[in-house]
Amino acid sequence: MPANDRDKLTVGLAQIAPVWLDREATLAKVVDWIGQAAAAGCGFVAFGEALVPGYPFWIEHTDGARFDSSLQKDTHAHYLDQAAQVEAGHLDGVCAAAARLGIAVMLGTIERPADRGGHSVYCSRVHIGADGKVASVHRKLLPTYEERLSWAPGDGHGLQVHPVGPFTVGGLNCYENWMPLSRAALYAQGEDLHVALWPGNLRNTEDTTRFLAREGRSYVLAVSGLMRRDDVPAGSPAAALLARCPDVLADGGGVHRRAGRRVGGAASDGAGTRDCSDAGPPRGAARAAEFRPGWALRPSRRDPTCTFPGSRETLCLAAAGDLPASRSRAATSLVKAGPCRARMLVTL
């Protein structure tokens, strides 16, 4: 394999919606999108926060803090029933797909671990290697706002990084990306490709992705989920919960930026597989852009190529490479934002 191919990694950001509160149906969907990413040449694919079996949107919209509410108790019991348990084999199909296709996967799940008695659920980031093995499970350190009515606080055991191609990859869930010490824990392990997992919506990612890239002198991917009322199965016990909710609860979105300036197109309104192009006309042309440490994938409502709400599912692609052969040189270059650079290959 040529040296430049060994130093290149094509990544996929799968912006998809769950089959809300249906673990098996959502996992089948995840496996399908892993296949699409592999077919597009990706060596790594990431999914949004809490995708399996879905974010607890009902809490905000159904008086979730009401004491001794049968509605809340029944819904939470269903949520626990549909949560993923790694040791029970719930992610075996995802692991098998990763191994079969030779692709690493980062997946947002609601985890119900047996070693905590099965009474608590955690917002967990699962990293699965291209060998199909679960490399680490990171439980969100501190759930945010109404999430605390459903999710238990996690711990630092899963603050780990893993080699993926020429990169050292780490990831954090949602508000953890605002926490300086959680970021520092990953930086200290040599992270140079950071994945920020979000449930969706521009307000979550508008400011963070830019400063993560600047601070870490690393590549940053922000991957969000989608959630529409139509994503709730008609026969689900939770179907009536969102009847009066907005049509779109999470609008996803993705765009390339460098130091706050627009670099590429959004994926929030696309269907199927869509590459992110370099800025500038003609839109849709095959182009290439310099992709230096400090560049990021994130949504922007100001970007004219974005259409919000993003009501369709998309696989956004970017290929980065041309890293120095020496890992020590690469690390030095990342810190100094010097000659270490990558090239983002795009084709619409």
Q: Rounded distance, CA 96 to CA 299, Å? A: 31
In angstroms, the Cα distances linking 114 to 36, 42, 88, 137, 189 are 32, 33, 8, 13, 29
328 close to 287: Cβ distance less than 8 angstroms: no
Catalytic residue among 29, 95, 111, 140: 140
Name 13's bridge partners: 46, 316
Residue 316 annotated to the active site? no
Residue 60 annotated to the active site? no
Whose tokens are 């084709």? That residue is 347
DSSP summary character for residue 158: G
Q: Rounded distance, CA 60 to CA 38, Å? A: 36
Catalytic residue among 8, 29, 42, 49: 49
- Nearest to residue 245, comparing CAs of 100, 111, 62, 93? 62
Catalytic residue among 42, 95, 123, 174: 174
Q: Rounded distance, CA 42 to CA 36, Å? A: 9
Whose tokens are 């970007």? That residue is 303
Residue 174 annotated to the active site? yes
The pairing of strands 256-258 and 261-262 is: antiparallel
> Which two three-digit tokens encode residue 67?
């004491």
Element (H, E) at 254: none
The dihedral over CA atoms of 30, 31, 35, 38, expressed in degrees to the nearest 10, equals 70
The total of other beta-carbon atoms located within 10 Å of residue 295's CB is 27
Catalytic positions, please?
49, 140, 174
